[in-house]
Amino acid sequence: MDEFALIARFFSRPPRNPQVALSIGDDAALLDISGRLAITTDTLLVGVHFADGALARDIGHKALAVNLSDLAAMGARPRFFLLNLSLPAADESWLAGFSAGLFALADAHGVDLVGGDTVRGPLGVTITALGELPAGRGLTRRGARAGDHIYVTGRLGDAALGFAYRQGRVQLAGAWRDELCARLDRPAPRVDEGCALLQIASAAIDISDGLAADLGHMMEASGTGAEVDLRHLPVADAYGACFPVVGWEAALSFGDDYELCFTVPPERREALERVSAGFASGIRHIGEVVAAPGVRWFEGGRAYVPAGRGFNHFG
């Protein structure tokens, strides 16, 4: 199977979105959009972002999920994506699994694959995702103000617990084992939540490197600080039994959560309660924005200093 047969068989599909005037097969795609474009890219490499034996289906899902999560954090509605694939060989069963995982998530969010590039090399996947925002709008890391409330969607530390289980560091009961490993392998990008928060939140970030690092980035960009009580962090019921091994670090610095952390001014709290009632993820109020820079963590009345600083490739 040559490069063109591979693209035709596994990646060319008629686009669903009428904004796609021209898709895969020409020198570039043509997209009709109004408003503002949000664009982001992320790379997943074997040995760095996923294990050698990871399922192709999960790699397809996760490569797109991490990009949709970045668009969600901007309040943008994902529409299109590009796929750059580096493959050691044209392995048909791997490609079938990868494209099934990729398109299952793409279909769930109504996004079309409109182009890419295919090369031979070590296994690696780069996706560039494009999303749409109303003209002049966008939810950034910069808008938090002292007095705003801080929230997160979903649960923190699930991926870390799944990873610790796979390493044999913690025990998990059967039902939790599947759920937490699924959270590591197939994270759900909080797309509907992010789009709804565009009208309500003052700032937002997606938690890919761990809450400690990512909340720190958002506060730094906003020129503010934060105070968070660890006892308010939303964690799985299974977390307690793992705590002697993973401590707070699973929830604070392992990363791979793909939840949203966002701030809301007190006067918009009721509006938040109205929209968040429809969120699949749920939300949790974890702390407050303050004027003094830096993030301060508390466990009840006692100060806590996180050990890790979040995932950092060159750290």
Chain contacts with ligand ADP (rule: CB under 6 A): 7, 11, 24-27, 83, 85, 113, 115-118
- Residue 151: name its binding partner from Mg ion, ligand ADP, none (Cβ under 5 to 8 Å by kind): none
Give the shortest CB-85-to-ligand ADP separation in angstroms.
4
Give the shortest CB-312-to-ligand ADP separation in angstroms.
29
C-beta closer to ligand ADP: residue 86 or 281: 86
- Structure-block tokens of residue 227: 């105070």
SS3 260: strand
Q: How many residues does the chain have?
A: 315
Question: Distance (Å, rounded) from C-alpha 141 to C-alpha 302?
Answer: 28
- Residue 115: name its binding partner from ligand ADP, Mg ion, none (Cβ under 5 to 8 Å by kind): ligand ADP
Of 255, 237, 153, the C-alpha closest to 195 is 153
Kind and range of the H or E run holding 20: strand 20-22
C-beta closer to Mg ion: residue 85 or 212: 85
- Residue 26: name its binding partner from Mg ion, ligand ADP, none (Cβ under 5 to 8 Å by kind): ligand ADP
Question: Distance (Å, rounded) from C-alpha 209 to C-alpha 308?
Answer: 11
* Residue numbers 107-126 binding Mg ion by CB under 5 A: 117
Give the shortest CB-82-to-ligand ADP separation in angstroms.
7
Give the shortest CB-187-to-ligand ADP separation in angstroms.
22
| Nearest position to Mg ion, beta carbon | 117
By DSSP bridging, strand 302-304 and strand 294-299 are antiparallel
Give the shortest CB-128-to-ligand ADP separation in angstroms.
11
C-beta closer to ligand ADP: residue 83 or 196: 83
Any idea what DSSP says for residue 85?
E
C-beta closer to ligand ADP: residue 121 or 300: 121
Question: Distance (Å, rounded) from C-alpha 294 to C-alpha 188?
Answer: 29
Kind and range of the H or E run holding 6: helix 3-10
Question: Distance (Å, rounded) from C-alpha 252 to C-alpha 311?
Answer: 11
Kind and range of the H or E run holding 289: strand 283-290
C-beta closer to ligand ADP: residue 97 or 147: 97
- Residues engaged in binding Mg ion (CB under 5 A): 117
